[in-house]
Structure 1
């Protein structure tokens, strides 16, 4: 009998299957327990989390929660970034800066960065890796590095029922009407 041959291949296969099931059950438990809802806000103190809204685990970067309002029955995928303000710890005033209407879906890996009002209407669907921002780099002085120039900011509005395809980029000043489709990979700026 060869040295490397396993004496109990059925037992080894059973052990691998059992371990695999345990790992998958544990991962499912972590995803369920780590999800953020109105009943289980985790470390976050959002201005509002509507009933039935869920932020999948693991979350992306989240700060400025006090100025973020999430409507009812929103689905926010894994690794989604939601930020109000350019950095944590800023006082952005009394009004919300980032508002998601009811039934909004943000696909995995999407980013919503708002220092000026960004408003999603009801039932907006975003595919994975969509980027929406109220801030953008400026290039007013060619002699100064772009990263050292003050960013341009403008409010963003996405109308109810709109659909943003995978990888779409929505820049400052964009105002999308109702039921607008933005193709995957498109860049939208202005109105």
Structure 2
């Protein structure tokens, strides 16, 4: 795990980096969780990385945000769901973004730079830079311009 300078993560946050050594996509010793400079994480933030989560500079997380690069497979009824990991997929959160209270960022998602993710949104697909996205699943509701 690497954490940039002037980054503040509130008490009670969970930053978990559990590299999956069996994943052939891990070809170097780069940390599975990389957090940029001047990132702010409110209480209740949970980030769980197994393969690759990168958070850009100046990203702010509201309370109770959850970010993960892996999920669980519920299709095998003979195996406990908690033990049935799906393959991890990288997550990227671009610089200058704001992730609202209670948002969930799921595996394989890239969020561009300067993106606002609304409270309680569930991000299941990529979001372009300079936009506001809300809902479950999160959808772009407006573009941000330099006059905003």
> What's the TM-score, normalizing by structure 1?
0.58
Q: Which has the higher contact order (CA 8 A, sep 6+)?
A: 2
Q: How do residues 172-187 of structure 1 correspond to structure 2 at under 5 angstroms?
A: 172-187=107-122
Q: Report Cα offsets for 1:144-183 as digits up to 9, x if no partner.
A: 4422423331110000011000111111101000111111
CA distance in 1, matches of 2:74, 2:114: 33
Q: How do residues 62-141 of structure 1 correspond to structure 2 at under 5 angstroms?
A: 68-85=1-18, 94-141=29-76
- Structure 1 stretches of 5 or more lacking a match? 1-67
The Cα shift of 1:86 comes to 6.6
How many residue pairs align between the two structures? 122
- Structure 2 stretches of 5 or more lacking a match? 127-148
CA distance in 1, matches of 2:83, 2:35: 31
Residue 131 (structure 2) aligns with: none
CA distance in 1, matches of 2:42, 2:83: 31
RMSD: 2.2
The Cα shift of 1:140 comes to 3.3
Residue 96 (structure 2) aligns with: 161
Secondary structure in 1 matching 2:57:
coil
Greater helix percent: which structure? 1
The Cα shift of 1:135 comes to 1.2
Greater strand percent: which structure? 2
Residue 65 (structure 1) aligns with: none
Instruction: Answer whether contact 2:19 2:32 (CA < 8 A) is retained.
Output: no
Instruction: Answer whether contact 1:138 1:152 (CA < 8 A) is retained.
Output: no
